[in-house]
Amino acid sequence: MKSKKIAALIAAIIAGALLISGCTGSPSQPAVTQEAANAPADTPEQNTPEQNTPETTAENAEPTENAEPAAQPAAEDTPVEYIGGDVAKAAALKHAGVNESDISWIGVNMDRENGSIVYEIDFDAAGYEYDYEVDATTGEIVKSQKEVDDDYQAPAAQPAQDSTQTDEPAQAAPAAQTQTDYIGEAKAKSIALEHAGVKEEDAMWIEVNLDRENRTVVYDVDFDAAGYEYDYEINATTGDIVKSQKEVDDDYRAAQTQTQTQTQTQPQTDYISEAEAKSIALEHAGVNEDDALWIEVKLDREKNTVVYDIDFDAAGYDYDYEINATTGAVVKSQKEVDDDYRASQSQTQTQTQSDYIGEAEAKRIALDHAGVKEADARKLEVELDREHGRVIYDVSFDSGSYEYDYEVDALTGSILKSDKERD
C-alpha cells in the first residue's frame, strides 16, 4: 500500500513539475499568439479584401462591369494596334532588298484596300520604281510591284551633290519650290479645257488635284462633256500637257443606246478598213506615217462598240487611239510622253523573234522570281507584247491567294515589272 501511495505521490510531483514547466515556458508565446491573432488578424481581414479586390477585378475585367469602360478606350485606340509607318516601310525595303540610304524618295500613306487597312509605300531606287501595300495590323505584304523607272537619268547627278557641300542646298531645293511656284488649279483647268476644245460651262463636272507622277508634280484634271470623259495631266510648273486622254462616257445613256443598236445590226462588211482607221488616227495626231516608229492596228470591241485599236510612237510620244469601226469617229485619243524614248528604239524594229528568249524561258524567269512551281500555278498565260516601244513577254498567273503579273524583256530576259496582289 505504502509503495503504491509513494508511486502515486511521485507521479503527482512529476506531473506538477511538468505542469509548472509548461506554464513557465509557453505563457508568453500563447499570449503573443493571441495578440497576433487578434490585432494582426484584423489587419489581414481589412487589407486582404482591399488588396485582392483590385487584383481580382483586373483579372476578371472582362466579366465585370468595369470591363465595359476598359473595352471602350480599347475600341477608340484601335490605330494604336497598327504596326506604324516605320515598321511598314522597313518591311517593304527588306522585301525589296533595298537599303533606305539608297532610295531617292519614299512615300508612306495609310489607306483602305478591299476592306483592309494598309500602308501604301512607294519608293525609287537604282533605276526601279517600287509600289508596296503592307497590312497595317499584321505587317503582311499584300502587294509588291517593281518596274523600270523610265525617268532614271535626272537623278544621276545626285551622288555627286550628296558627297559635296551641296547637301544643304539640295535639301533646301524642294522647300524652295512651293505651291506658289506652280501655275495654280485655275490655270491648269484652263489649259486642259482649251486643249479639249470644251467650254467650262459645257463641262458636267470638273475635278482638279495636285499630284506627283514619275517625280514630276502635275495637276490631274478630269471632266465630262458631251458624252466623253477627259483626263489630263498638266505639269504644275511649266503648264505643259504631260498626258491627254479622251474616251466615251459609259454613263452617257443616249449615246450608249444608239451605239448598242448599231453594233447589233451592223455586219463586219460595213466596217471601214484598217488602212482608213490608221489614216484617221495619224491625221488626228498630226503625225506622218513615215515618222511613226511602229504602228499596231487591231479590231476590238470596247464598251459594246466595235473599234480599231491603234497604237504608235512618234517624236518621243506614245499615241493610243480607238476608231469607231463603222463611222470612223475618234472614240478615244490619248497622247503622253514616251518615257522609254531612246535612240535605240529604231533598233528594236529590225530585230526578229529569233532574237527573243522565248515564251518558255520568260515563263521560267517569272516563276523563279515569284518562287512558284509551274505545277502550282493556275491561269498561266504568256503573251508577246510591246510596251513603250520595247518588246516584252507578259506573264500572268495565280498561285495560292495571290495574282502575279510580270513583264520580261524579250531580248535580255530582265524583269521590267513584277506585280503581286491578293486574289
Grid cell, residue 391, equals 518588246
SS3 141: strand
- What is the model's pLDDT at position 404? 94
Q: Give the per-residue pLDDT at 70.
A: 45
Minimum mean pLDDT among 206-210, 340-344, 356-360, 404-408: which range? 340-344
The DSSP code for 337 is: E
Interval 90-120: pLDDT, tens: 999 999 999 988 887 788 888 888 778 889 9
371 lies in some domain:
yes
Q: Where are the alpha helices (DSSP H) in 97-184?
A: 158-162, 167-176
Residue 55's H or E segment, with its range, is helix 28-59
Q: Is residue 283 part of a domain?
A: yes
Average pLDDT over residues 287-316: 86
Question: Cβ distance 306 to 329 under 8 Å?
Answer: no
Do 161 and 217 belong to one domain? no
Q: 143 and 106 in one domain?
A: yes
Cα distances from 356 to residues 73, 267, 370, in angstroms, run 61, 39, 22
Confidence at 272, pLDDT banded by 50, 70, 90: very high
Residue 192 and residue 164 share a domain: no
> Are 325 and 374 found together in one domain?
no
Q: Rounded mean pLDDT of 203-230? A: 86
The domain tally of the chain equals 5
The answer as to whether 163 is a domain residue is yes
What CATH number corresponds to the domain at position 235?
A: 3.10.450.40
Residue finishing a domain among 169, 201, 235: 169
In a domain, 206, yes or no: yes
> Is the residue at 216 inside a domain?
yes
> How open is the CA angle 32-34-36, to the nearest 5 degrees?
65
405 has a pLDDT exceeding 90: yes
Amino acid at 210: L
pTM of the model: 0.32
For the stretch 49-81, what's the b/e string if a residue is b when 16 or more beta carbons lie within 10 angstroms of its beta carbon? eeeeeeeeeeeeeeeeeeeeeeeeeeeeeeeee
Q: Which residues pair with 406 in a beta bridge?
A: 395, 418
Average pLDDT over residues 308-326: 90
- pLDDT tens digits for 147-156? 877 766 644 4
In a domain, 381, yes or no: yes
Mean pLDDT on 280-289: 93
Domain finish residue from 339, 369, 395? 339
Radius of gyration of the chain (CA): 40
- What are 130-145's pLDDT values in tens digits? 989 999 999 999 888 8
Spatial distance between the Cα atoms of 182 and 66, rounded to a whole number of angstroms: 56
Output the average pLDDT for the chain: 76
Per the model's pLDDT, the better-predicted residue between 338 and 179 turns out to be 338
- Name every residue whose Cβ is closer than 8 Å to that of residue 268 and which is 6 or more positions away in sequence: 306
Domain-located, residue 110? yes
263 and 204 housed in the same domain? no
Residues 6+ apart with CB under 8 A from 423: 398, 400, 401, 402, 403
104 shares its domain with 164: yes
Residue with more model confidence, 164 or 182:
182
**pLDDT, tens only, 24-45:** 444 444 444 444 444 444 444 4
Task: Spell out the residues 6+ positions from residue 330 whose beta carbon is closer than 8 angstroms to its own.
Answer: 246, 280, 281, 284, 321, 322, 323, 324
Between residues 178 and 105, which one has the greater pLDDT? 105
The β-bridge partners of 213 are 216
More confident residue, 31 or 335: 335
Domain enclosing residue 199, as ranges: 182-249
User: Is residue 99 domain-shared with residue 165, that is, in the same domain?
Assistant: yes
DSSP letters spanning 347-407: HHHH--GGGS--HHHHHHHHHHHHT--GGG-EEEEEEEEEETTEEEEEEEEEETTEEEEEE
What is the structure's pLDDT at 180? 65
Would 113 be classed as within a structural domain? yes
Rounded-to-integer distance, Cα 20 and Cα 255, Å: 122
> Residue 281 and residue 258: Cα distance in Å, rounded?
23
Q: Among 283, 308, 339, give the residue marking a domain's end.
A: 339
